[in-house]
Amino acid sequence: MMEEQRQEEGRRLLDAYKRHLEGYMRPQSVKTYSHTVEKFMEFVGWDVKEFTARNADDFIGRYLDGVNANGTTVSAASRNRRIAALHSFGEWLIKPMEIIERNPMDDIKRARVPVRLPKFLSEKELDRLLNSQDTTTPKGVRDRALLEFFACTGCRVSEVAGLTWDMIDIKSRTVRIIGKGNKERLVYLADDCVDWLRKYRDEVWARWKDELIKHRTEKGDDADDIAITDRVFVNSCMTPCDKVMLYRLVSHAGHTAHIKQKVYPHLLRHSFGTKMVRNGANIVAIKELMGHASIATTQIYTAVTESDKKDAVMAVFNRKNQEDGDNNG
């Protein structure tokens, strides 16, 4: 009976922690954090008093080291995310819950994550992607506007999925973006993006809206009672495009453009950051435009340009060596 009571109390505590996370975290992060904490609570028999550094370290060694269920190695980044989940749980138990006095996770070191250079599209590939859409069709106009928006704002796919028309000021060429943690920022639209957004809004979005109203009224619905979404990117039935649909649209555009590497929304975000750095934009400005919490995240794009510089130098010297070889011959 004691064990059942302990598990019941532990699950109530877990539910309260999950509600706490939902107040400021994205759903996927809430799922990751709460799943890790649930596994740990199972590991310690649902007894929060057993939340010690020793038990946490033992849990991490058994549950987070080694390989995943699908046979892949647990990455350092994944391991660190789950350590962060337990650390967050510990902080919550201190305040506001006042169940423990010190966070045991303060004694657990996180793994060092190797810095990887981001993949991105070249200027030619990006131009080919944008120009690959059949803009004689409504969906082609929408997809061109979508690609232009991704390319010139560097927004995350979740931010584009949540975009509404009242967030876009065509006149001032600005867009109010709601990013991670509900943080708001302004991004700016290039001329081509403005033109395609306007064309999409006036010729496609408005047309799909009118067709929906006509269809519904013919079925007997009152036009005033028909709810119309204000989301920017929708399908022909005026259903908002979610993150999965946006991913598919961008991926399909990559196939249409015959781009060898896989094309996806975050690749366009990386392409934006890389292009901004290459063209001499201020790193702090790029950080703000991309909505990074830390400038360290933004600085990964400077590493790409360092690689570009090295390639340029090697190309010059290789060319000179070739010329010397030709002269000696």
Active site residues: 156, 180, 266, 269, 292, 301
- Residue at 262: amino acid letter: K
What separation in angstroms does the CA of 117 have from each of 266, 307, 308? Answer: 13, 9, 12
* Residue 135 near residue 148 (C-beta atoms within 8 A): no
- Residue at 210: amino acid letter: D
Give Cα 46 distance to the centre of its chain.
Answer: 34
Vertex 179, ends 209 and 252: CA angle to 5°?
A: 55
Q: Exposure string (b/e) for 286-316, b if CB count within 10 Å is 16 or more?
A: bbebbbbeeeeebebbeebeeeeeeeeeeee
Give Cα 149 distance to the centre of its chain.
Answer: 15
**Is the previous residue joined to 265 through a cis bond, with omega within 30 degrees of 0?**
no
243 vs 256: CA distance, rounded Å: 20
291 vs 155: CA distance, rounded Å: 8
* CA pseudo-torsion sign 278, 280, 281, 286: positive
* Residue 185 near residue 289 (C-beta atoms within 8 A): yes
